[in-house]
Amino acid sequence: MKDHKSHKLKFNPYLEKLYQSDKPLIIYKVDNGYDIYTDFSKKINLSKNNIHKFLNSFEKTKYKKETDQYVGFFGYEILNYLLGIKISKQSKNGFYKGVFYKPETIIKIRDNISIFSNKRKQEFNNYFKPTKILSPFKLNIKYQKYKKIFDIFSKKIRQGETYQIKICTKYRNKSSINPINFFWRLMKSNASPESFMIRDKNYSIVSCSPETLLLKKGNKIITKPIAGTLRKSKKTNRSSALKFFRNNSKETKEHNMIVDMERSDLSRVCIPGTVKIDKEKYVEEYRHLFHYVTTISGSLLKGMTIKNIIKSMMPGGSVIGCPKVRTLELLNQQEKENRNIFTGSFGYIKFNKDMRFNIIIRSILNYKNTSEISAASGVVLDSAAKKEFNENFIKAKSLLELFK
C-alpha cells in the first residue's frame, strides 16, 4: 500500500480536477503504482457482430507511443461466444458484453506523477456523485437453492463429466456510488495485484481482483492461477496458511487440477517444451483471506495471434472449473442470471501485441442504480456445500464493507 499512501500525500491539482470531473476514466494497479487512462478517442462496445473484427485489428497496428493501446474488459458472455458455447435463457440487465477504450492521456503514478497526453488542452466539467445506498444487499440465491445446484454438480463430478465447478452467487442492492472514493478506500484496505476501476457516463466498476490471467511481453507469456482460499484469523499467518494448504487434500486437488488446466491452455499457444512452472504453490495474503498460487510461463509459437491467445486462456480456468468447455456448458444450464463482468477479464492490448489481463472477481458493478457483487467457490468430489456457500461471503466481504 506504500504506492497508494505516497500518492494520497501528494496533492496534485490535475488529478483532483480529473477525479471531480465527469470525464470517463480508468485506474489500473500496476506493480509499482497506478496507471490512469482518460480522454478516450474511441469506445468500442463489443458484440457478436464486431468481436472478431476487434481482435483481428491488432494484426495490422503499429506501436509508436504510450497511448497506442486499448484498455477495457471482456464480459463472461462474449468469451463463451468466442468458444462457440451457447448460454441458455438467463435474466439480463442489458449491461455491455464488453467495452474497450482508446486513451489519449495516460497518467503514471509512481514515486512521481508523469502525464503522457495527445491533448493540448485539458478541460474539466465539475461533477461530484455522492454515494447513495437505497436498499440493503440481498443474495440472489439462498442456501437451499445453492445446495440443490451443488448436489447436481456433485453428481456430475461423480459421473466424470467435470472434476471441478464454480457456482456463482450475487449480492445486489439499489445504490449509486462514487467509484473514485470506493476505489481509493479499497486500495487503502485491500490493494490486490490486479485492482482496477472504470468510471463511465452510465456505469462504473470497482475491483480488487487478485489474479493475473495472462501477461504477454514479446513472445513470453505468464499466468498465475489461484486455487485455494483460507479465511484469516488471529492465529493464521502465511506460514500456517501454507501448511494448511499443503496438508488439505481438497485444496491440493483443486489447485493441482487448475494448474494442469492452465498449463494445457498455455501449451495450445506456446512452443512445445517451453511451458514450465516458475514458482509453485505459494501463499498470497489479503485483508480477509489467504490464497494458494502458482506461476506458469511459456514461449509463444511464431504467428500466434491475439485472438488465438484470448480463446485459449479465457475465461480463466481457476474461476470456472475443469475441464473448461464442459464445465461452462454445465454452469450455463444451471445459472439463471447473466454473470455480466464476473469471470470475464479486464486489461489492455497494446498495438505491439503486448497485453495484460486479469480475471474479474472481487468486483462491484454499478449500473442502472444497482450494485452487484458476485462470488464463486469451487466444488470438487469431497466439497461440503455449506463451507463453499460461506466461502463466497468471505470473498465478497471487503466489497460489502465499502457500503457501510
Q: How many CA atoms lie within 13 A of 192 on its CB side?
A: 30
The grid cell for 210 is: 487478485
pLDDT tens digit sequence for 237-253: 999 999 999 998 888 88
- The domains found in the chain, sorted by start residue, are 2-218+330-403 (3.60.120.10)
Tell me the residue type at 108: K
Cα–Cα dist 324/81, whole Å: 14
pLDDT at 3: 41
pLDDT at 2: 39
Look-up: residue for cell 463451507? 387
Low-confidence ranges of the chain (pLDDT < 50): 1-9
Q: Is 388 helix (H, G, I), strand (E, B) or coil?
A: helix
Taking alpha carbons only, the member of 207, 249, 257 closest to residue 227 is 257
C-alpha 329: how far from chain center? 21
Look at the chain and count its residues. Answer: 404
Q: DSSP alpha helices (H): ranges in 216-315?
A: 238-247, 249-267, 306-313
Q: Residue 100 forms beta bridges with which residues?
A: 44, 72
Tell me the residue type at 181: N
pLDDT at 277: 96
HEC sequence for 111-132: CCEEEEECCCCCCCCECCCCCE
Q: Which residues of 131-141 are buried (b: 16+ CB within 10 A; e: fewer)?
A: eeeeeebebbb
pLDDT tens digit sequence for 218-228: 999 999 998 88
Tell me the residue type at 402: L
Look-up: residue for cell 505516497? 6
Given its phi and psi angles, is residue 152 left (phi above 0), alpha (psi -120 to 50 degrees) or beta?
Answer: alpha
The grid cell for 21 is: 470531473
Taking alpha carbons only, the member of 347, 402, 389, 395 closest to residue 167 is 389
The grid cell for 120 is: 493540448
Cα–Cα dist 361/276, whole Å: 26
pLDDT at 288: 78
Longest dimension (CA), the chain: 63
Cβ–Cβ < 8 Å for 402, 180: no
Cα–Cα dist 55/349, whole Å: 10
Cβ–Cβ < 8 Å for 104, 119: yes
Cα–Cα dist 378/391, whole Å: 9
Cα–Cα dist 115/109, whole Å: 9
Cβ–Cβ < 8 Å for 82, 53: no
pTM: 0.92
Q: Residue 367 forms beta bridges with which residues?
A: 203, 370
The grid cell for 340 is: 455480466
Cα–Cα dist 125/119, whole Å: 16
